[in-house]
Amino acid sequence: MTTQTIAYREALRQGLRAALAGDERVFLMGEDVGRYGGTYAVSHGLLEEFGEARIRDTPLSESTFTGAGIGAALNGMRPIVEIMTVNFSLLALDQIINNAATLRHMSGGQLSVPLVIRMTTGGGRQLAAQHSHSLEGWYAHIPGLRIVAPATHEDARGMLLAALEDPDPVLIFEHALLLGAEGTVEGEPHPMELDHAAIRREGRQVSLITYGGMLHKSLAAAEQLAKAGIDAEVLDLRTLRPLDDAAIMASVAKTHRVVVVDEGWRSGSLSAEIITRINEQAFFELDAPPVRVCSQEVPVPYARHLEDAAIPQVEDIVAAVHRLLG
């Protein structure tokens, strides 16, 4: 098996190419995915390789092309809809939540919407408040959707393949800061299962529970903590809905201390949900109050220093752990 070191966007592209090559029902559509090669250059070269019928540029109308994707899925296709950022997906909320998420239930199981929607999420690139939010936790509120957040390169290409096998809609959140990051993958793209969280670093004293772009900051924080003699475990949730409760509780039972690192805002957030579940299911394993490291409750600022201050940083995670351990 060959090991390749590639950028995250290249891993996404490998996943797309494998999906397109492996199943003729699969097609990609979205704004600038064809001739322009994708706003983030993820689909660069795919138009030339697979042609206009399968790499389709759409008008600037998220509601329209997401709706078209739902229609195609209902009729047996396996569409991949790319939405430029999670902020713009709000224009397609009606299609995603009122249609994609509900049709199986409203049809008594007669209809299936095997749709995959990809979008970038998160801040850190000075794209200001309309391009930088982390709303995946919001989507994780909706029954009928599966929400995944590939944080590693293998997941970046493999979760897409697994998502296409899912008979129900799957939303994939790709963190904007990861796109250029390099990492390794093994051999050919293969489906990466969507049901389990993954321990990215074993530890005994505190669990850093995180996902997506925050995984790498959490791992860096764990490195720093190790130098201070603190043994932190890092749990990558991978799938935000449904949450892998068993993995979360197992880690809590091991370390007895929890820091949830979530780029979303704190109030009514995914981090709130995770901690609630810990309190419900693992209360007697807790040896300290659960702690959150979240974004400041402001629209993400444009200015670099303000953006840095608004989004969780490695030092914030390290400081939270030190406070927790007294």
Partner 1 sequence: MSEFRMPSLGADMESGTLVEWNIRPGERVERGQIVCVVETQKGAIDVEIWETGTVERLVAEEGQKVPVGEVLAVIIAEGERAEGEKAEGEAAGRETPAEPSIPEASRTPSPHAPSPRALDVSPPVPPHAAATSGRLRISPAARKRAAELGLDPADVRGSGVDGSITLEDVERAARPAEGRQAALSERAADAHAAMRQAIATAMARSKREIPHYYLGNTLCVEPALAWLEAHNAERPVAERLIFPVLQLRAVALALEAVPALNGWFVDDAFQPAEGVHPGVAIALRGGGLVAPALHDADRLAPDAMMAALRDLLTRARQDRLRSSELTTAGLTVTNLGDLGVESVQGVIYPPQVALVGFGRISERPWVRDGQVVAARCLHASLAADHRVTDGALGARFLTRLTDLLTEPERLWPT
Min separation Cβ 79 and partner 1, Å: 47
Bond preceding residue 169 cis, omega within 30 of 0? no
Min separation Cβ 214 and partner 1, Å: 23
In terms of Cβ atoms closer than 10 Å to its own Cβ (0-12, 13-18, 19+), residue 312 is buried
Measured from the Cβ of residue 305, the count of other Cβ atoms closer than 10 Å reads 8
Query: Which one of the listed residues 10, 31, 62, 263 is annotated catalytic?
Result: 62
- Percent helix, strand and coil across the chain, each to the nearest 5: 40, 20, 40
| Count, residues in the chain | 326
Nearer CB in complex with partner 1: 10/233? 233
Nearer CB in complex with partner 1: 81/278? 278
DSSP one-letter code for 209: E
State the Cα–Cα distance between residues 147 and 168, nearest whole angstrom.
Answer: 11
State the Cα–Cα distance between residues 52 and 60, nearest whole angstrom.
Answer: 18
Bridge partners of residue 261, in order along the sequence: 293
Contact 248, 197 (CB under 8 A): yes
Min separation Cβ 85 and partner 1, Å: 38
Min separation Cβ 325 and partner 1, Å: 8
Nearest alpha carbon to residue 251 among 276, 278, 271: 278
**24 is a catalytic site residue:** no
Min separation Cβ 292 and partner 1, Å: 14
**315 is a catalytic site residue:** no
DSSP one-letter code for 80: E
Min separation Cβ 234 and partner 1, Å: 21
Sign of CA dihedral 173, 177, 179, 185: negative
Measured from the Cβ of residue 150, the count of other Cβ atoms closer than 10 Å reads 31
Tell me how far the alpha carbon of residue 241 is from its chain's centroid.
Answer: 10
Nearer CB in complex with partner 1: 3/284? 284
Query: Which one of the listed residues 31, 82, 131, 263 is annotated catalytic?
Result: 131
Nearer CB in complex with partner 1: 105/204? 204
Nearer CB in complex with partner 1: 73/291? 291
Residues that bind partner 1 (CB under 8 A): 256, 283-289, 323-324, 326
Nearer CB in complex with partner 1: 167/289? 289
Q: Catalytic site residues?
A: 62, 131
